[in-house]
Amino acid sequence: MSSNPIKLGIVGVGKIVRDQHLPALAKDQDYRLVAAASRHGKVEDIPNFPTIEAMLDSVPELEAVSLCMPPQFRYDAARLALAAKKHVFLEKPPGATVSEVEDLKALAAANGVCLFASWHSRYAPAVEAARTFLSSTTIRSAAINWKEDVRRWHPNQEWIWAPGGFGVFDPGINALSIATHILPPMFISSAELDFPENRAAPIAAHIAFRTSNGLPVTMELDWRQTGPQSWDILADTEVGSMVLAGGGSKLAIDGRVVHEEPEAEYPMLYKRFAEIVRAGTSDVDLAPLQHVADAFMLGKRNVVEAFFD
């Protein structure tokens, strides 16, 4: 592929697109945003369409699409784009089920185009430093604490409470995308999921993992956190305690900050997408999504009090 800017269309113009995708694309010379499709939102100064079908039909010069709608609707849109031989960027989570994304991988390969599962939290500035530290020592135990206020981060977003909307695993999968990158391979041994009596998706989860060599890893997810938010991964090692805090933005060893940089996750995601498009390959890691599926498969369901935004 040439080094000319990639002609990109974006689908699903909501909060994450306005907060992250559009600012990242505006500064990236690897792309030219040429169209958008959304039932409600619009992007100024480019053609806008009500559906991805209309966008693909009307803008044949599109080379790639970025799919940012809720996960329940991502599979059908991705199939349309891949069948039209467009490269596809999947906002996280890449689909509502593991089997959907497996099918998309096969379809991308059959059509000679690229598929990218964009685990944005893996690109937080201190994640690679944490991975390097943990690979240099012996880990004794680890804990994941991901607790935030759903009212603050997902106001009036009913899709997250519907089947396939993931509930508290919508942010929790960000933690899993980091954990599966920096910790040894792990497997769920037990889980409890707290479902509000008026919701179809969990508001909290309590999970125990083990690794193949017996390393214990616990995970606490909660969407009812008020005050300071908690996005932390902790590890006890033979050379000291590690805290990867702030969703991967700050790394401390024995209380001393050793790595901290400004957040640049989405610019890094689009840089990676351009790399795989130019190289003609795909980047689709299903490990975080598989852990969510395992939690629902193994998890004991607890009914808790009703939750209202």
For residue 109, give both structure tokens. 């390969």
For residue 62, give both structure tokens. 């599109």
State the Cα–Cα distance between residues 256 and 135, nearest whole angstrom.
19
What digits encode the pLDDT tens for the residues 37-58? 999 899 999 999 999 999 999 9
From its phi and psi, is residue 166 left (phi > 0), alpha (psi between -120 and 50) or beta?
left
User: Which pLDDT value is given to residue 2?
Assistant: 55
DSSP state letters, 169-220: HHHHHHHHHHHHHHS--EEEEEEEEEEETT-SS-SEEEEEEEETT--EEEEE
User: Which pLDDT value is given to residue 1?
Assistant: 46
Q: Has 7 been annotated as catalytic?
A: no
Catalytic residue among 86, 92, 147, 250: 92
Weakly modelled stretches of the chain, pLDDT under 50: 1
User: Which pLDDT value is given to residue 303?
Assistant: 97
Note if the pTM is more than 0.85: yes
Q: Residues near 214 by Cβ (< 8 Å), separated by ≥ 6? A: none
Q: If 0-12 CB within 10 Å is exposed, 13-18 middle and 19+ buried, where does residue 38 land?
A: buried
What digits encode the pLDDT tens for the residues 121-134? 999 999 999 999 99
